[in-house]
Structure 1
Amino acid sequence: MCLQKKFIDRHPRRRCTHCNGEVDQITRFETVPKVLAFAVDDASVIVSKKISIYDGETRLVFKLKGVVYAGDFHYISRVCVDGVVWLHDGMVTGKNCKYEGKLSAFNDSDLSTCNGKVLSLVIYSQK
């Protein structure tokens, strides 16, 4: 829902100079990218394990690949590979990642926060 609002951004106070109608800013892709990354600054946003975009002919599915969280002047991340979730916190695990479990075991709310930190960036890629 958050993405739908972002791709069709309503500007009711702006008016068309030709017809005086409301102006909408619609984001379109000439070529749909293979990777989508979204910076998040709204604590109410919930991470989805997959998103889809209809390109006019087919429905393109993007799967969750990573999430970055911020808090207390520190960033941590979850990396999703082949249905498995790995946690990276350089201050705790150094250059290693810690196994957290299968992605199917997480619900969308579980993915929106991590160790007291809040969602900052989410990354998806096409199948």
Structure 2
Amino acid sequence: MTYFISSPLLLSFDVSRVRPDLSHQLEIPIRRRISQIYKLRGIIYFSNEHFTCRVIQADGTVWFHDGITTGPLLVHDGCLTDTIDLSTCRSKYAVSAIYVCA
């Protein structure tokens, strides 16, 4: 089993080679006996030479950003309690999942 000696504040996973079923929360072992909870806070998507992203707030609100279509604004995109497919977004596939220490 692999474990961390100390808990990093942020974890980013390359999910570009798989179609992940992204978990809203991860539990990572620290020093064999302690575990740290991480919450999903961002997903980066890619297709056709263009990146977009979703940002997830602590209350589960999901926001979408695409600099071409939304400019500097984020657009409300639902809640984690809704049935949102997090692995795809507007015909783009997830390439990175970002978790932060809860």
The TM-score normalised by the length of structure 2 is 0.88
CA RMSD of aligned residues (A): 1.5
Q: 1:52 aligns with which of 4, 24, 27?
A: 27
What corresponds to 1:124 in structure 2? 99
Please give the secondary structure, in 2, of the residue aligned with 1:92: coil
What corresponds to 2:45 in structure 1? 69
Question: Which structure 2 residues correspond to residues 86-97 of structure 1 after superposition, within 5 A?
Answer: 86-97=63-74
Structure with more contact order per residue of length (Cα contacts < 8 Å, sep ≥ 6): 2
Q: Supply the AA of the counterpart residue of 2:92.
A: K
Greater C-alpha radius of gyration: 1
What corresponds to 2:18 in structure 1? 43
What corresponds to 1:17 in structure 2? none
Report the Cα offset of residue 113 of structure 1: 0.5
Please give the secondary structure, in 2, of the residue aligned with 1:93: coil
Q: Supply the AA of the counterpart residue of 1:51.
A: L
State how far apart, in whole Å, the 2-side matches of 1:47 and 1:103 are: 11
State how far apart, in whole Å, the 2-side matches of 1:102 and 1:113 are: 15
The TM-score normalised by the length of structure 1 is 0.72
Instruction: State the aligned residue count.
Output: 100
State how far apart, in whole Å, the 1-side matches of 2:33 and 2:3 are: 14
Q: Give the unaligned 5+ runs of structure 1.
A: 1-7, 9-26
Q: Supply the AA of the counterpart residue of 1:111.
A: L
Structure 1 pair 28–53 and aligned structure 2 pair: CA distance change class (3 A): closer
Report the Cα offset of residue 45 of structure 1: 2.1
* Superposition misfits of 4+ residues, deviation over 4 angstroms: none
More helix by share: 1
Q: Give the unaligned 5+ runs of structure 2.
A: none
